[in-house]
């Protein structure tokens, strides 16, 4: 019996439970559908990386005697059509738990009729919804979720079977499109499963041991940058978890944050767009159609660590996690612009843009998410810069107007005898806007002004 392996966020051949299940049925068609509903909101960086990942996967399949069949269109009609053309008896997928993915897969399952849509595995070590409190309710707090997630555990990586699969190669498809036009100078990492495995081996060898000490230091650039590979499933988190030792708890917990936010989104799908804490939805905000929002987006706020982060996003389609929190706090609590506008900008430009992680990290920073005591946290961009970029190397890398400013003074260029040429003065007074933000949070949370 022929089966179809409908690939989505699992663009690899190793550690692939859905591939195991498909191969057990007989010859396998490897199918990927370019879905306009998902491509539309994605920016050029993420689309280009997807296309490069597909080219890499197609080459890997050819090496194994297979072929990637690429189609474009609505999966609800495209997948059943492929089933009819291939004479397939089953469709196998890694389960999707995002709001659109759940609706799409249910609709495809209905359209397939008597042909089963078999869900095996997922993009997570523990599928969302599996880890719950004793009363069956989903977790709202990361600490409790993490303890339960660790106790639950996960399976070992699935053994590779790609070399033993009988591939069905007669189904026609289209060529992988050319990359969209990228902004000048945009740097993307190498795509594909082999690149992901090499990056992980290199990081384990060179930097994993120091992760707890340097993970918040954007100037050192010592984080793993594996998020882009996890986004498209070039590597499975279970593969990474299997390589961690007892001393790698800090890194393990970062992988767990990804799993936590996926579980939160699965339990509360409306939180992708709406407030996780609805009581805060009535707060007054500034318009995003403003010079302030443009300055934030373009990295011209006059606050060096904020501007460095926004310029790194434009140059690499990526930003250090600590800096993501700093720039998000600045937008929401210094400029008073609602979190959804920043989240949308990130999703448009991040090559690793993941709906669950992105939206809920923004909500965490905005004080509207899963944090137990959120609104008191207002990041001071100067203090954050001094603490996590102590010599100013990160700022100087991304803000060329400040490269002649030495040492920690780079975080407060307005205190110099002369403002560096070409660099703007601060667009707001942080101390003032902090008080405004706190007062607005207190008002909407019913705590008054005291």
Range 96-102 average pLDDT = 97
User: Which stretches within 40-98 are classed as H helix?
Assistant: 44-63, 75-86
Place of tokens 């918040």: 216
- Contact of 156 with 131, CB cutoff 8 Å: no
- Residues 71 and 148 occupy one common structural domain: no
In a domain, 145, yes or no: yes
Three-state SS at 93: strand
What pLDDT, on a 0 to 100 scale, did the predictor assign at position 161? 83
What pLDDT, on a 0 to 100 scale, did the predictor assign at position 450? 30
- Residues 433 and 284 occupy one common structural domain: yes
Residue 21: pLDDT above 60?
yes
- Residues 301 and 374 occupy one common structural domain: yes
Q: Which candidate, 106, 82, 81, places its Cα nearest to that of 96?
A: 106
Dist. CA 440–CA 442, nearest whole Å:
5
In a domain, 188, yes or no: no
Task: Supply the angle between the helices 44-63 and 193-206 in degrees, to the nearest 10.
Answer: 100
- Residues 210 and 345 occupy one common structural domain: no
Dist. CA 22–CA 66, nearest whole Å:
14
- Contact of 124 with 261, CB cutoff 8 Å: no
Give the range of the structural domain holding residue 416, as residue numbers without chain letter.
278-443
In a domain, 184, yes or no: no
Q: What percent of the chain has pLDDT over 70?
A: 98
What pLDDT, on a 0 to 100 scale, did the predictor assign at position 418? 93
Domain finish residue from 267, 293, 308: 267
The gap from C-alpha 232 to its chain's centroid, in whole angstroms, comes to 10
Mention every residue, 6+ apart, whose C-beta is less than 8 A from residue 123.
9, 10, 94, 96, 230, 233, 236, 237, 262
Range 420-432 average pLDDT = 97
Give the tokens for residue 178: 């050319």
In a domain, 165, yes or no: no
Greater confidence (130 vs 449) lies with 130
Range 209-225 average pLDDT = 95
What pLDDT, on a 0 to 100 scale, did the predictor assign at position 446? 64
CB atoms within 10 A of CB 63: 11
* Total count of domains within the chain: 3
In a domain, 182, yes or no: no
Domain finish residue from 267, 290, 317: 267
Q: Which candidate, 288, 372, 363, 362, places its Cα nearest to that of 327?
A: 362
- Residues 199 and 327 occupy one common structural domain: no
- Residues 298 and 232 occupy one common structural domain: no
Range 209-220 average pLDDT = 96
Q: What is the CA radius of gyration of the chain?
A: 23
What pLDDT, on a 0 to 100 scale, did the predictor assign at position 449? 35
- Residues 114 and 131 occupy one common structural domain: no
- Residues 128 and 118 occupy one common structural domain: no
Could you report the per-residue pLDDT of 291-313, keeping only the tens digit for each?
A: 999 999 999 999 999 999 999 99
Average predicted confidence (pLDDT) for the chain: 95
In a domain, 448, yes or no: no
Domain finish residue from 122, 139, 170: 122
What pLDDT, on a 0 to 100 scale, did the predictor assign at position 372? 60
- Residues 313 and 301 occupy one common structural domain: yes
In a domain, 21, yes or no: yes
- Residues 284 and 251 occupy one common structural domain: no
Least confident of 270-279, 364-373, 375-384: 364-373
Residue 209: pLDDT above 60?
yes
Q: What percent of the chain has pLDDT over 90?
A: 90
Greater confidence (445 vs 263) lies with 263
In a domain, 183, yes or no: no
CATH of the domain at 23: 3.40.50.620
What pLDDT, on a 0 to 100 scale, did the predictor assign at position 373? 60
- Residues 436 and 297 occupy one common structural domain: yes
Please report which helix (H) or strand (E) contains residue 30, including its range: strand 28-34
Could you report the per-residue pLDDT of 163-202, keeping only the tens digit for each?
A: 899 999 999 999 999 999 998 889 899 999 999 999 999 9
Could you report the per-residue pLDDT of 29-88, keeping only the tens digit for each?
A: 999 999 999 999 899 999 999 999 999 999 999 999 999 999 999 999 999 999 999 999
CATH of the domain at 143: 1.25.40.80
What pLDDT, on a 0 to 100 scale, did the predictor assign at position 448? 39
> Please, what is the Cα angle at 317 between 314 and 319, to 5 degrees?
90
- Residues 54 and 131 occupy one common structural domain: no
């Amino acid at each position: 019996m022929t089966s179809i392996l409908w690939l989505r966020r699992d663009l690899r051949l190793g550690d692939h439970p859905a591939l195991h299940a498909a191969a057990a049925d007989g010859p396998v068609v490897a199918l990927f559908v370019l879905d306009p509903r998902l491509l539309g909101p994605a920016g050029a960086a993420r689309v280009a990386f997807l296309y490069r990942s597909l080219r890499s996967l197609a080459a890997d399949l050819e090496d194994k005697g297979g072929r990637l069949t690429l189609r474009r269109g609505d999966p609800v009609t495209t997948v059943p059509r492929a089933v009819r053309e291939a004479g397939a008896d089953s469709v196998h997928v890694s389960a999707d738990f995002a709001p659109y993915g759940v609706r799409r897969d249910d609709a495809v399952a209905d359209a397939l009729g008597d042909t089963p849509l078999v869900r095996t595995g997922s993009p997570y070590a523990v599928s969302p919804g599996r880890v719950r409190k004793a009363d069956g309710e989903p977790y709202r707090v990361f600490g409790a979720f993490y303890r339960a997630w660790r106790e639950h555990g996960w399976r070992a990586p699935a053994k590779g079977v790609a070399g033993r699969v009988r591939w069905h190669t007669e189904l026609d498809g289209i060529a992988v499109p050319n990359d969209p036009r990228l902004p000048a100078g945009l740097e993307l990492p190498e795509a594909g499963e082999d690149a992901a495995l090499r990056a992980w081996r290199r990081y384990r060898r060179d930097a994993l041991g120091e992760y707890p000490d340097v993970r918040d230091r954007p100037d050192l650039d010592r984080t793993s940058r594996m998020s882009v590979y996890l986004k498209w499933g070039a590597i499975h988190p279970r593969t990474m978890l299997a390589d961690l030792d007892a001393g790698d708890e800090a890194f393990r917990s970062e992988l767990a944050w990804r799993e936590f936010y996926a579980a939160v989104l699965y339990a509360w799908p409306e939180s992708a767009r709406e407030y996780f804490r609805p009581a805060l939805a009535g707060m007054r905000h500034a318009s995003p159609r403003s010079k302030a929002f443009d300055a934030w987006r373009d990295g011209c706020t006059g606050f060096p660590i904020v501007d460095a982060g926004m310029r790194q996003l434009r140059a690499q389609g990526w930003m250090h996690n600590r800096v993501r929190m700093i720039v998000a706090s600045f937008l929401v609590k210094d400029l008073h612009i609602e979190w959804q506008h920043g989240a949308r900008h990130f999703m448009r430009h991040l090559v690793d843009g993941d709906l669950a992680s992105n939206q809920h990290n923004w909500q965490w920073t905005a004080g509207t998410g899963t944090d137990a005591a959120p609104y008191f946290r207002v990041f001071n961009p100067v203090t954050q810069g001094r603490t996590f970029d102590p010599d100013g190397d990160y700022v100087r890398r991304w803000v060329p107007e400040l490269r002649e400013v030495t040492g920690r003074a780079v975080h407060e260029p307005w205190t110099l005898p002369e403002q560096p040429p070409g660099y703007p003065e601060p667009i707001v007074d942080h101390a003032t806007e902090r008080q405004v933000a706190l007062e607005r949070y207190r008002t909407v949370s019913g705590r008054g002004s005291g």
